[in-house]
Amino acid sequence: MEGKSVSEIVARHTYGTWRAQRGWKPPHVTRAEGCHFWDADGKRFLDLSSQLVCVNLGHQNEAVVEAICRQARTMAYLGPAYACDVRAELALKLLEVMPRGLDKFFFTTSGTEANEAAFKIARMVTGKHKIIARYTSYHGSTAGSIAATGDFRRWHAEPVSKIPGVIFGPETHCYRCPLGKSYPGCDMACADYLAYMIDHEENVAAVIVEPIVGTNGVLVPPPEYLPRLAEHCKKRGVLLIADEVMTGWGRTGKWFAVDHYGVVPDILTTAKGITGALAPLGVVATSRAVSDYFEDNFFAHGHTYEAHPLTLAPAVAALDEYRRLNLLERSTQLGEYLGKGLRALKDRHPSVGDVRGLGLFWAVDLVRNRETREPFNTPQDKSARRPLVIDQVVAELGRRGVSVLGWVSHLVLAPPLIVTEADLDFALEALDAALTLADQKVG
């Protein structure tokens, strides 16, 4: 190591994502188990955001780890042109949990790859090329998925990421409605506006939405929104793609967020929690109407690691663990407990403008002024590397042994689904103390 620390070597010789590299000091983590991880000094942290909202089963789930080891000993790799037991087994298990009607799957190694595949599939099936996405959205980092990403991460990749054919519409954000309306008097104007866009564009292949927006604020739509949007798409012959990379696998209290709304999209993409993040796997699930197109037409997509056995085996084990540990029900019950605690914090802290969530997926929105709902910082601030209030709050939480994802002006709370009430109490106590830093900056 030449006298350098692990953190120094990592910072100098590898890239830190979504950041300028100067000043990056990644913490050196030496161990992780359950809902916690430990740094090189032995300090324990509660992982309140499941890393990147992906360690749904907790760190080092034994059954999933063993499935990886067993598969590695049996058959570590097989090309996608061949069939194997674990590929068939996972396909059958997916049929048990996917929204009814989604029954043919393409396997990838990430969520961004899943969305890339979904776009290609939609364009091939419809013979059209335009994709409608929403401004407050994130769909991945590769060329097509970043082009369909509405948030500021797209700006830095332009014009390379400005792939023709992606257009943006309004998100569903009842706390800060982009159309200046209020629910329920708005009558779902944000959904109707996407229909308006379809009607005034040519060659729209698909609309892609996160059913519940993830990193950009855990935006939970009203119950009418997704059914209205699905109806608009169906009426106009446009495919609906549900990006469930972050919201799938019990995160919201059901297998998938669309299940809360009784909507079956034409294409569903997912990743992250399907293996509990112990292996990189993404899935594109398609309806039979979509997959039938390729019975006699060329399926022009594929890659070396599609259906990689070492990614499929942990998914099979993970699905069994979700059931064995009763994690969907647990997500619902503990989500209600967490939500109650967060709402109590809102009552005590003037810097908290809004608290919203579903299951074990919550956001705490920090504001400079409750009346105007002005956030402390904006995406432009983060993009320009200006000091962020949210970073101060996150740092204080870290000092108190809680690791949480902060984004622009809100916190994303998404603990492993095995979290306990005692863990949540510890987190709420730390958050109560950390929020005083933001309270001091309220104007």
Q: Domain ends where: 324, 340, 375?
A: 324
Q: Domain ends where: 279, 308, 324?
A: 324
Q: Does residue 300 lie within any of the structural domains?
A: yes
**Buried residues in 144-164 as b, exposed as e (16+ CB within 10 A):** bbbbbbbbbbbeeeeeebebe
Judge whether 365 and 217 are in contact, CB under 8 Å. yes
Q: Does residue 1 lie within any of the structural domains?
A: no
Q: Write the CB contacts of 411 (distance below 8 Å, at least 6 apart in sequence).
A: 363, 364, 366, 390, 393, 394, 404, 405, 431
Q: Both 294 and 409 in a single domain?
A: no
Give residue 196's pLDDT: 98
Domain, as residue range, for 426: 6-57+326-439
Give residue 4's pLDDT: 76
Give residue 1's pLDDT: 63
Give residue 424's pLDDT: 98
Tokens at 140, concatenated = 């991945």
Residue of 209, 211, 205 whose CA lies nearest to 223: 211
Q: Both 331 and 309 in a single domain?
A: no
Give residue 163's pLDDT: 72
Report how far residue 254's alpha carbon sits from residue 413's, in angstroms, rounded to the nearest whole number: 17
Q: Domain ends where: 278, 304, 324?
A: 324
Give residue 2's pLDDT: 62
- How many separate domains does the chain show? 2
Give residue 159's pLDDT: 78
pTM over cut 0.85: yes
Q: Both 272 and 309 in a single domain?
A: yes
Q: Both 163 and 32 in a single domain?
A: no
pLDDT (tens place) for every residue of the chain, 443 residues total: 666 799 999 999 999 999 999 999 999 999 999 999 999 999 999 999 999 999 999 999 999 999 999 999 999 999 999 999 999 999 999 999 999 999 999 999 999 999 999 999 999 999 999 999 999 999 999 999 999 999 999 998 887 666 779 999 999 999 999 999 999 999 999 999 999 999 999 999 999 999 999 999 999 999 999 999 999 999 999 999 999 999 999 999 999 999 999 999 999 999 999 999 999 999 999 999 999 999 999 999 999 999 999 999 999 999 999 999 999 999 999 999 999 999 999 999 999 999 999 999 999 999 999 999 999 999 999 999 999 999 999 999 999 999 999 999 999 999 999 999 999 999 999 999 999 999 999 98
Give residue 30's pLDDT: 96
CA distances from 215 to 89, 137, 142, 406 (A): 32, 8, 17, 9
Q: Both 32 and 85 in a single domain?
A: no
Give residue 284's pLDDT: 98
